[in-house]
Structure 1
Amino acid sequence: MSLRPPVSEQDHIQGNPGAAIELVEYGDYQCPHCGHAYPIVKQLQEALGDKLKFIFRNFPLSEIHPDARLAAVAAEAASRQGKYWEMHDIIFENQEQLKKSNLLEYARQIGLDLPRFQTDLESSDLMDIVEEDFESGVRSGVNGTPTFFVDGRKYGGSWEPEAFAAFLNSRLKEA
């Protein structure tokens, strides 16, 4: 399956925009498997440096992870204040505590304007962004989290550090 839609300026992109490898993760902030993948992605980013750009798209599985949707909206709300990745990281680093009160504390810790953040948490526009990510995942063949796409193609291999790094390094040699 291929990524639908392709990565655009509307996505949250971390790393070199012109990188040789594009890694997209559809993830759920409350998913334990995504929590396991979080440090692996960080390791890959460190190892590959400017050869990798990383994109995270929201895919909250609300039926089994009741706090995932609000956590995704919180990350989008932080984005409005230029702190998307800071919120993304603090949420994954505190994945067991994603109630609204926790998210407000994380917003305070990363230096957000709290009244603005609280207003944005209720924004239907931000809920729509999360839903658009989810729908794009469905169109792209995502049925669980995390699901990775490498250079626009669904990745079906292991995302354990050694195997994933070997695959990405082989992609670099082809590029």
Structure 2
Amino acid sequence: MKLGSIESFNYFFDYYYSGLCLYANAYIRDMSASEELVQDVFVRFWEKRRNIEIESSVRFYLFKTVYNQCLNLLKHKKVEQKYRQQKISHAENLYEEQWSLFNESELRQVLDQAISKLPERCREVFELSRFENLKNKEIAEKLGITEKTVENQITKALKILRKELKDFLPLFLMYMS
């Protein structure tokens, strides 16, 4: 193989590939990631074939290389997970800080301002739905419109409010929970 014999490489690949995949999967518990890892090991094995010094056996070399790559992958996943957790923690802290700047009446005032920007019929339907807890059918009967119009008006209101309150949504979600 050191001289570039593709047949030799194919022999090692065919002989060890499936066993190495199972071995890797025992560590990383993801068969597609295991297969990808083993393929990478074989690619590097071929690319570095001229410089590799195998002291014991090809089998030992390949299994040891797969083991090391599994450890590297697991360390990398652990770092990614820690980073993700830090980002989540930072976001939660930021929301808590923002929440402490507002009290319930201030949030209600922000919500009222956003609702006041809704078109008249849209606002009327939204308030009947959300503040008087009427069902769409009841709103339709009360206002003399179809249930479909009620649904459309509520959808329109929510879309406008999401846009108007985008900077305050995390605070409202915290307030509502």
Q: TM range, normalised to the smaller chain?
A: under 0.3
1 or 2, which has the higher helix percentage? 2
Larger Rg: 2
Larger relative contact order, structure 1 or 2 (CA cutoff 8 Å, min sep 6): 1
1 or 2, which has the higher strand percentage? 1
